[in-house]
Amino acid sequence: MLDTENILPKLKRLRARRVFIQVPEGLKTRVQELSRELEGAGLKTFISIEPCFGACDIRDREARALGCDALLHAGHSDYGLKTVLPVIYEECRIDFDPAPLLKMHLGDLRSFKKICLVTTVQYLSSLARAATFLREHGKKILLGSPIKARHPGQLLGCDFSAAKSVEPGADCFLFMGTGTFHPLGLSLEVEKPVLFLDFESTELIDLGQERFSLQKMRYARIAKASDARDFVIFVSTKPGQAHPDLAMHAKEKLESLGRRAWIVVADQLTPSKLMGLKAEAIINTACPRIQEDAKLFRKPIISVGDIDMFEEMG
């Protein structure tokens, strides 16, 4: 998955000597071997062990402070951020043929003629194989163009535009890959059915019931937050997640409703960082993954747009 034969020529073209390495949690078991291979080629390496969920979290300023002259970011595609150091994005594709699974579940797809295929960067090579198989069985395939992501059909946790851009012409969305974060997030962004072809369990899952449950949970969080008087509005210092203007807009909204609000700043939000602060609810302006941790905070976490629903809830 991490190909040093591909990485080394890129580093040599940059004349890199010190390299800062960033990998997501799933690649940490490989990162020491990668470091050793790069050092065997004459480079010096520094391994970041901070959590990394996407290319929105480029730690180039830390790398520069350590005297590095290049950053190797593995596992994600270029997010389009301006950086103070050259960044090499090693996407780490996984070669998986979904045709046998699609054949197994073809009957479950019989009522859908126009299918929009989506996945994450790791499984992008599966899209072409899936499209070929499904076309051979009479399906029309749609691949949307994303706004923040780099490739047709690619989803990010904060960018579902590859799906939404073609929704009017689609009968359903078929997410292929592993993990429920992206397909469940997509199910909340679109009206058409979302199906999840799980490469690990080999199941094809209709997320309709899960979408209904998530929507109920969302409305419950908003209802609870609408009763709160004191809010904290979280701004992340991660370069692709920092939205201070959005936070100020949220503060103005809340204050116009007679609430009190404070903008708080951190690289990553954790319950311990809020200890000692008065807050009954949290407004999140950073990565939507934070909502997954609502139980840890023991207070509702909502988005800026959710504030508009306070008056509806009395």
DSSP string, 217-279: HHHHHHHHHHT-SEEEEEEE-STTT--HHHHHHHHHHHHHTT-EEEEEEESS--GGGGTTS--
- Going from the C-alpha of 199 to that of each of 91, 121, 230, the distances in angstroms are 19, 14, 44
What is the share, in percent, of the chain residues with pLDDT greater than 90? 89
Distance between CA atoms of 195 and 175, rounded to whole angstroms?
Answer: 6
pLDDT at residue 304 greater than cutoff 90:
yes
pLDDT at 289: 84
Which ranges of the chain would DSSP assign to H, the alpha helix? 4-13, 28-40, 60-65, 99-104, 125-136, 161-164, 181-187, 208-226, 244-256, 294-297
If one counts every other C-beta atom within 10 angstroms of the C-beta of residue 4, the result is: 16
Q: What is the mean pLDDT of residues 228-239?
A: 96
Distance between CA atoms of 131 and 136, rounded to whole angstroms?
Answer: 9
Per-domain boundaries in the chain: 4-90, 99-206, 218-313
pLDDT digit string, tens, across residues 192-212:
999 999 999 999 999 999 999
For the domain bounded by 4-90, which CATH number is listed? 3.40.50.11840
* CA-closest candidate to residue 238, choices 20, 47, 60: 60
Angle between helices 28-40 and 4-13 (to 10 degrees): 50
Q: What is the mean pLDDT of residues 284-288?
A: 93
CATH superfamily of 218-313: Diphthamide synthesis DPH1/DPH2 domain 3 (3.40.50.11860)
Rg (CA), the chain: 22
pLDDT at 1: 63
Q: Quick one: DSSP state of residue 161?
A: H
CATH 3.40.50.720 is right for the domain spanning 99-206: no
Task: Tally the residues of the chain.
Answer: 314
pLDDT at residue 313 greater than cutoff 80:
no
